[in-house]
A and B are shown apart, each in its own frame.
Chain A
């Protein structure tokens, strides 16, 4: 365990140094993300000014929804994103060999060993935005609701990570995954909408258990609000277990089909 920790710290300190060298591009990226989240919040502000109660959900809940989606995305990108997104190129160019021959756990090396520091800054921004919204709208929160919210964010991040692993594993079959991966990822643009807009029950089911769009934003928002009972946590836990098992099985199966000669 100590061995892994030393590797993790050293590898990511090097990443941090690299980021400091390219600080201009890093700052521009963070600024672009900040602009994106401000515009997403502004979108609901404008809609609310126009239709008020027509959205049938309070403006502060909509803000929490948008921020929850960003928080889940930022956690995923900080901890796992770099590894998961590099999977297609590792398979395509046959460079997965360099990871397979290392005397370390494959899953750690593939998915968890690299931090993306840019998203660490984004996480700080998320916390600041949460504080602003809580104080601006006088939202009463208890220690319990924060704990439940964080549990749900943890589950949502697991689901989102496992889902992305499953998508990127497709590169063992398809040489060019870009268009397909973008298509699936585009479904997550729906995650900032309240679940109520998906009125057909089959749509809700699909967006929880097949493409877990509702899990990454609406579930944490509902956990923060409270009053949804244990069913919400059972659904989120079931999703997490199913997707994590599928990702684990998928990765093992991918390794059996992997040829070092590249795909």
Chain B
């Protein structure tokens, strides 16, 4: 079965690479708001002020990493799954000897991998333009910490996306989920502002939500904000969210399949 997933991944990467102009354009869409954030940060720091405990270089790096990470570990509803359930295309997958979850996981991250390569190139150029440095100051320890965290964040973000998408079993239109997520997530995940500068009560809540483990914490890890001790605590909390979503997704999937009528 692993050969099937590998072949599927390679095929998806090839297809995605054919639309590289579209990928570059769609990442530029993300990069322009990022440009605004960077200019605002530079403007504030030029007057001798500081946002929270962040030094300017560290904050610029945080914003760039958060932008890339939020694209890779994005939460939303996935049109393919939604459409399979609504139009009855799920029949085709259920008859095949593979897991529908892992099939979508491979396609999802193969697409994301291509997108992220373009994102890193464009964001790196933005980093040089804004900071004037050629090499971002990222420690080896931070890279190791980030890789371990990414191994939890990737399945977690896909599990949440999968869960939200299979809500199509229960609702005729789940477009509103995407509408609200599009507005709330950049804020709640730390993409717009680092979560540690929020007022205490809100900060306490946002830091414990799953969205923080997908953008804020991974970005802080790469900017070198965590010692090993506090890092392991965050990894543990992320693992707990992963287990929670494995359970609720399994329940939603098995109940949804019972409700599913193969005619769409």
Residues of chain A having any CB pair with chain B under 8 Å: 25, 28-29, 32, 35-36, 39, 42-43, 46-47, 49-56, 179-180, 182-183, 186-187, 189-190, 193, 196-199
Contacts and interface: CB of A to CB of B under 8 A. Distances in A.
A44 to B, nearest CB: 10
Given A190-B35, A193-B36, A47 B51 contact: yes
B51 A182 contact: no
Contact of A193 (B26, B29, B39, B50): B39
A197 B45 CA distance: 11
Given A32-B176, A179-B26, A50 B197 contact: yes
Given A46-B198, A50-B52, A39 B33 contact: no
B29 A183 contact: yes
B121 interface: no
B187 interface: yes
Interface stretch (B72-80, B135-143, B177-185): B177-185
Given A46-B198, A182-B29, A193-B39, A51 B176 contact: no
B44 A183 contact: no
B40 A197 contact: yes
Interface string B1-36: 000000000000000000000100110111011011
B51 A190 contact: no
A32 B51 contact: no
A51 B33 CA distance: 21
A50 B180 CA distance: 27
B22 A189 contact: no
Contacts of A32: 176, 179-180, 183
Interface residues on chain B, size class: 20 to 34
Contacts of B193: 43, 46-47
B98 interface: no
5 contacts: A25-B176, A35-B180, A182-B29, A186-B32, A186-B33
A256 B180 CA distance: 42
A180 B24 CA distance: 11
Nearest to B29: A186
A52 B49 CA distance: 9
The B interface, classified by DSSP as helix, strand, loop or mixed, is helix
Interface string B172-216: 010110011001100100001100011100000000000000000
A37 to B, nearest CB: 10
A186 B27 CA distance: 11
A182 B22 CA distance: 11
B75 to A, nearest CB: 16
Contacts of A186: 28-30, 32-33
B47 interface: yes
Contact of B25 (A36, A50, A51, A180): A180
A189 B175 CA distance: 22
Given A39-B184, A183-B28, A196 B51 contact: no
Contacts of B52: 50
Contacts of B28: 183, 186
Given A32-B176, A46-B193, A197 B43 contact: yes
A54 B44 contact: yes
Contact of A183 (B25, B39, B197): B25
Interface string B99-126: 0000000000000000000000000000
Contacts of B43: 55-56, 196-197, 199
A94 B117 CA distance: 38
A189 B32 contact: yes
B26 to A, nearest CB: 6
Contact of B47 (A49, A56, A180, A187): A56
Nearest to B198: A46
Contacts of B44: 47, 51, 54-55
Given A28-B176, A35-B184, A179 B33 contact: no
Contacts of B39: 193, 197-198
A32 B175 CA distance: 12
A53 B192 CA distance: 20
A186 B67 CA distance: 15
Contacts of A56: 43, 47
A49 B26 CA distance: 33
